[in-house]
Amino acid sequence: MSLNTILVEDSKTIRENLIPAMAELADINVVAVAETPVEALAAFEEHGNDWELAVVDLFLREGSGLTVLRAWKRSDHQHVVVLTNYPTADMRRRCLELGADAVFDKSTELEAFFQCCRSYSHE
């Protein structure tokens, strides 16, 4: 069963490549895309409990993915992972403290990201 997912990513190029890869490699159905924290929170509200995974970038067109992590509320069946080009040890710690389930580097940890997403679809 496909994971209904909200993608918080401001790069059109990354979205155009990531969405088909997520569908093929992790059975992910992107139900909403957001480029800013305001758009992300609106998507969370619009989709309520219907989403199971949120994939959040840290550097957005306006604002930060950290704002999204601070402000969102989720149910027990929902997961949030951060997919970023800035996965320093401090940033990983901050994301996890704010409730992210995992943090992945876009350039070196995509296979681990897809594996993590697949594990959520088997819950």
Per residue in 75-108, pLDDT tens? 888 999 999 999 999 999 999 999 999 999 999 9
Q: How many domains does the chain have?
A: 1
Domain with 114, as residue range(s), is: 3-121
* Mean local confidence (pLDDT), 43-56: 94
User: Is residue 39 scored above 80 in pLDDT?
Assistant: yes
CA 69/CA 2 separation, integer angstroms: 23
Instruction: Look up the CATH number of the domain holding residue 56.
Output: 3.40.50.2300
Close Cβ partners of 107 (under 8 Å, ≥ 6 residues apart): 85
Hey, what amino acid is at 16? E
